[in-house]
């Protein structure tokens, strides 16, 4: 079950959408809500022996903490409006540690909720945070878009299935949501001429869900111009799904997570809320 929902808060207008989504999930599962506020401090360092510069840096850090005190008070008030058991966790961090801190804190919650990262040519703060939690927390992320909303009862959940460890992990993490859903469809995206093993893919997963008391259907979708994400997006629209469940893929290089094409595209363009796990 989902008994604690951790939601990333930053004091911006985006918090209202995050809190609305967290509230919907908390009502559905009778959960606690934990607001995670990461106050990013300026990364400045004086030259060696520069006493005036050292004083300036100290002053900048103090002002950043004082500003965060005001933001934290606003966040506490926003959380109190949910009329649910709530908690605020605040950490003053530097830019290069935000992903590690978020991943560490997410390990003590059932779900980490955030807004989908904006598409950008470089890894921004939001992308680093989301990827840090995805690959470092062992928990699933529930990501919302600027124009998506979370229903208090899921009408139709689409589960992207390819038989991998990552999709298996996502399926396991999604079980509480699937129990609440009115309909569940496992979608297998394959080539026009799948091999025998691929032709049988998904049947065991449907049986597994049936053992959990979840009635699901298996649907095979054709890959679109070599683009799995396009096929998943089309299926989500066709089914009128209100949640997509999928595994997240990536590999490490110089301590940065470089996401595969399908994962990257769905993180930035999923038409409905996305439950993703690694």
The pLDDT tens digits of the residues spanning 162-192 come to 999 999 999 999 999 999 999 999 999 987 6
The neighbouring-strand residues paired with 185 are 158, 217
- Sheet strands side by side (includes 156-160): 86-94, 32-41, 4-9, 111-115, 140-144, 274-277, 243-247, 156-160, 183-190, 217-222
Q: Which of 159, 277, 274, 249 is nearest to 212 (CA)?
A: 159
- What pLDDT does 48 receive? 63
Tell me the pLDDT tens digit for each residue of 25-50.
999 999 999 999 999 998 766 656 66
Q: Which of 132, 136, 259, 160 is nearest to 218 (CA)?
A: 160
**Topology given in CATH for the domain delimited by 156-277:** Rossmann fold (3.40.50)
Provide the mean pLDDT of the chain.
88
Cα(67)–Cα(95) distance, rounded to whole angstroms? 17
What average pLDDT does the segment 249-254 reach?
Answer: 50
Burial class (CB in 10 A: 0-12, 13-18, 19+), 208: middle
99 Cβ contact list (under 8 Å, min separation 6):
128, 129, 131, 132, 133, 136
- What pLDDT does 257 receive? 40
For residue 256, pLDDT over 80 is answered with no
Where along the chain do its domains lie?
4-144, 156-277
Burial class (CB in 10 A: 0-12, 13-18, 19+), 62: exposed
Tell me the pLDDT tens digit for each residue of 88-144.
999 999 999 999 999 999 999 999 999 998 765 445 778 889 989 999 999 999 999
- What pLDDT does 252 receive? 43
Structure tokens given for 123: 């890894």
For residue 208, pLDDT over 90 is answered with yes
For residue 255, pLDDT over 70 is answered with no
Model confidence band, residue 203 (pLDDT cutoffs 50, 70, 90): very high
What average pLDDT does the segment 239-252 reach?
Answer: 84
- Which CATH class for the 4-144 domain? alpha beta
Tell me the pLDDT tens digit for each residue of 58-78.
888 899 899 999 999 999 999
Q: Do the domains spanning 4-144 and 156-277 agree at the CATH topology level?
A: yes
- What pLDDT does 258 receive? 46
**Total-model pTM:** 0.90
Structure tokens given for 8: 């990333």
């Amino acid at each position: 079950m989902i008994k604690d929902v951790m939601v990333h808060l930053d004091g911006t207008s985006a918090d209202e959408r995050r809190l609305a989504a967290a509230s919907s999930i908390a009502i559905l599962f009778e959960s606690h809500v934990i607001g995670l506020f990461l106050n990013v401090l300026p990364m400045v360092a004086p030259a060696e022996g520069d006493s005036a510069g050292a004083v300036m840096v100290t002053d900048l850090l103090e002002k950043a903490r004082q500003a965060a005190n005001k933001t934290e008070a606003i966040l506490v008030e926003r959380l109190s409006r949910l009329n649910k058991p709530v908690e605020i966790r605040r950490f003053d961090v530097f830019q290069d540690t935000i992903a590690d801190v978020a991943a560490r804190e997410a390990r003590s919650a059932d779900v980490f909720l955030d807004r989908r990262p904006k598409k950008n040519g470089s890894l921004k703060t939001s992308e680093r945070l989301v990827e840090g939690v995805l690959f470092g927390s062992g928990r699933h992320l529930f990501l919302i878009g600027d124009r998506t909303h979370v229903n208090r009862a899921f009408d139709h959940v689409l589960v992207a299935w390819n038989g991998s460890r990552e999709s298996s992990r996502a399926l396991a993490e999604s079980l509480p949501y699937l129990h609440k859903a009115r309909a569940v469809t496992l979608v297998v995206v394959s080539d026009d001429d799948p091999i025998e093993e691929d032709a049988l893919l998904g049947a065991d997963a449907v049986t597994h869900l049936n053992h959990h008391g979840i009635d699901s259907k298996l649907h095979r979708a054709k890959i679109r111009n070599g683009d799995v994400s396009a096929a998943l997006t089309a299926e989500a629209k066709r089914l009128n799904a209100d949640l997509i469940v999928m595994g997240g893929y990536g590999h490490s290089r110089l301590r940065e997570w470089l996401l595969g094409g399908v994962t990257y595209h769905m993180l930035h363009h999923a038409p409905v809320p996305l439950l993703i796990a690694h």
